[in-house]
């Protein structure tokens, strides 16, 4: 059996991961010129700087999310984007909301548009789970953490959004009170959230 060509290796990588970055090819010892050749042949399309995908992508409404986490692998999807992934809003936010380490620089991404929040310590690491979105592993804040973050950033996302998410999650049994209280303490919004939590029980 003959060894796969460089182009075949790239296409297999795209088939498995959906999006591929030029830097990933560097790690695999594949020259980036093969990307341009595959684009010229009509087999790949360049989505944005350094990001490529198959010419006929599967459209699911999560393209922006997948592209952002491909370009910023350490990012955690949060706030309005996480609410949508958890089924707690019918809105499809224009921006992709990500949380990154407080010491990290804002990613240089022109498109898709992103909104960045910075965190550190347990506020960054606790309350994170992995979803598979269009075959790609993405880090997402848990339901409890997402709701708490909405209260923490209520001046940005709106208090009404935070309250609605809390009530919907409680009504649909997507949260446990203990988890929300613990996340609220970690993120220092327990006092702010107390009256809203008391109204649920």
**For residue 124, how many other CB atoms are within 10 A of its CB?**
17
Select from 57, 155, 183 the least CA-distant residue to 166.
Answer: 183
pLDDT in tens, 71-106: 898 999 999 999 999 999 867 778 999 999 999 999
For 139-168, give one letter per residue: b (16+ CB within 10 A) or e.
Answer: bbbbbbbbbbbbbbbbeebeeebbbbbbeb
**For residue 39, how many other CB atoms are within 10 A of its CB?**
14
Which of 59-68, 124-133, 170-179 has the least mean pLDDT?
59-68
Spans of all domains in the chain:
6-54, 63-198
pLDDT of residue 59: 47
Answer with the residue of higher pLDDT: 95 or 111: 95
- 179: phi > 0 → left, psi -120 to 50 → alpha, else beta; which? alpha
Answer with the residue of higher pLDDT: 74 or 62: 74
Which of 37-46, 53-62, 113-122, 142-151 has the least mean pLDDT?
53-62
What is the DSSP code string of 6-47? HHHHHHHHHHHHSEEEHHHHHHHT--THHHHHHHHTTSEEEE
The pTM of the full predicted model, rounded to 2 decimals, is 0.72
Contact in structure between 147 and 180 (CB atoms under 8 Å) = yes
DSSP E strand stretches across 103-142: 114-119, 128-133, 136-141
Report the pLDDT averaged over residues 148-169. 94
């Amino acid at each position: 059996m003959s060894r796969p060509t460089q182009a075949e290796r790239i296409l297999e990588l795209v088939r498995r991961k959906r999006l591929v970055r030029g830097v990933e090819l560097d790690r695999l010892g594949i020259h980036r010129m093969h990307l341009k050749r595959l684009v010229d042949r009509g087999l790949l399309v360049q989505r944005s700087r350094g990001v490529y995908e198959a010419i006929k992508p599967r459209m699911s409404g999560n393209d922006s999310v997948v592209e952002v986490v491909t370009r910023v692998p350490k990012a955690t999807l949060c706030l309005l984007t996480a609410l949508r992934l958890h089924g707690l809003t019918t809105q499809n936010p224009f921006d992709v909301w990500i949380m990154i380490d407080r010491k990290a620089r804002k990613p240089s991404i022109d498109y898709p548009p992103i909104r960045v929040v910075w965190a550190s310590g347990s506020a960054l690491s606790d309350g994170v789970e992995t979803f598979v979105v269009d075959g790609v592993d993405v880090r997402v804040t848990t339901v409890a953490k997402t709701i708490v973050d909405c209260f923490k950033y209520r001046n940005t996302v709106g208090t009404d959004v935070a309250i609605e998410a809390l009530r919907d999650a409680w009504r649909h049994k997507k949260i446990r009170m203990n988890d929300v209280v613990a996340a609220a303490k970690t993120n220092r919004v327990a006092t702010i959230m107390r009256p809203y939590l008391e109204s649920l029980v």
